[in-house]
Amino acid sequence: MTQRILILGAAGQIGTELVESLHGQGNTVLATDIKQPSDVNFPTDYEIVDVLDRDRLHSVIAKFKPDVVYHMAAILSATAEKIPLKAWEINMQGLINVLELARKFEFKLFWPSSIAIFGPTTPKDNTPQHTIVEPLTIYGISKYAGERFIDYYKHRYGLDIRSLRYPGLISWKAMPGGGTTDYAVEIFYEAIKNKRYVCYLSSDRTLPMMYMDDAIRGTIELMNAPKDSMKEASYNFAAISFSPEELSQEIKKHIPDFEITYDPDERDELAAQWPRSIDDSAARKDWNWQHRYDLSKLVEIMLSQIAKKLEKST
Ligand code: AKB
């Protein structure tokens, strides 16, 4: 069944690929973001929408009448630490504005959470679905508060809201912006262009990661799963885990003279608070989640696609 789908924050790393995929499946998609992106050509209608502008949001939703909304607009972890109160406003007030409209217009909602909800007191290996959650970053605090909010709206108003705790996402189509895990995309561009990369994380800073195709497929599968199989407010969602050093060793198999050096900055302190690996057995059990891409497959695709993309742009 095709649907009317509104994407808020469509010009970001995940939004760009969600638009492409949902449009490709025959849905009527309206892509929106806070400004006109210079580097993305949407195959769908596009409108400017600021999630903090309630009147504008209301009128776009009243006119488009979506069956489903993907609310992807957010400030990511590293940028959020530079503008904590603004990040809180965008991440939380933006979500509340969308939730209030979900009550009124009764659309189904997707909202992204993150591994950043976990903090230094959380067990780092195979982090369970339910565990100690004491985030110290403003991004992590906003994501965890968001999880509580969506669960409140689900139970209080009977809304259909679904959510995933995304790991670092790796794609060659769109660049990430302002995250702690962005190194795992930048490294490929630098490896191809300059055969060297200065990494802002420590060499052994292992983090949970996922190839974007898995993330998009998983997100759409979650949204299409039967409502009564949804047991969690937001699901742990995992594929692979690796450190910068392990990633660079895999890149060296393709570019033997690639060199990585380490100059950890404040982002390494954020990453140090996050899990090394995630137990996503609830997602695997409740809606049959399975990842397809391992590290070697991911590296092979990233290097070949980015090389082609860079060649085209010169
Ligand atoms: C970030 O690094 O901020 C994001 C995330 C893990 O949510 N990629």
pTM above 0.85, yes or no: yes
pLDDT digits (tens, 9 = 90+) for 203-233: 999 999 999 999 999 999 999 999 999 999 9
Cα gap 182→167, rounded to integer Å: 11
Residue of 13, 76, 136, 175 with the most ligand 1 atoms within 8 Å of its CB, for mutation: 76
Closest ligand 1 atom number to CA of residue 207? 6
In the chain, what percentage of residues exceed pLDDT 90? Answer: 96
pLDDT digits (tens, 9 = 90+) for 17-75: 999 999 999 999 999 999 988 778 899 999 999 999 999 999 999 999 999 999 999 99
Residue of 166, 200, 237 with the most ligand 1 atoms within 8 Å of its CB, for mutation: 166
CATH class for the region spanning 170-208+240-276+293-313: alpha beta
- Is the model's pLDDT at 152 over the cut of 90? yes
Task: Give the pairing type, strands 168-170 and 207-211.
Answer: parallel
Amino acid, res. 112? P
| Domain residue limits, the chain | 4-168+211-236, 170-208+240-276+293-313
| 114 pocket-lining for ligand 1 (C-beta < 6 Å) | yes
4-168+211-236 fold: Rossmann fold (3.40.50)
pLDDT digits (tens, 9 = 90+) for 84-98: 999 999 999 999 999
Identify each DSSP E strand in the chain by its residue range.
4-8, 28-33, 45-48, 68-71, 108-114, 161-166, 168-170, 196-199, 207-211, 235-236, 240-242, 259-262
How far apart are the CA of 49 and the centre of ligand 1, in A?
23
Q: How far apart are the first and last CA of the chain?
A: 42
Same fold, 4-168+211-236 and 170-208+240-276+293-313: no
Neighbour count for residue 251 (Cβ, 10 Å):
22
Structure tokens belonging to residue 19: 């638009």
**What average pLDDT is seen over the chain?**
97
Handedness of CA 221, 227, 228, 232 (dihedral sign): positive
Closest ligand 1 atom number to CA of residue 143? 7
How much is the CA Rg of the chain, to the nearest whole Å?
19
Phi, psi of 11 (to 5 degrees): -90, 0
How far apart are the CA of 114 and the centre of ligand 1, in A?
7
| 181 pocket-lining for ligand 1 (C-beta < 6 Å) | yes
In the chain, what percentage of residues exceed pLDDT 70? Answer: 100
Closest ligand 1 atom number to CA of residue 114? 7
Q: Taking each helix axis as running N to C, give the angle between helix 13-24 and helix 212-224, from 0 to 180 degrees, rounded to the nearest 10.
A: 60
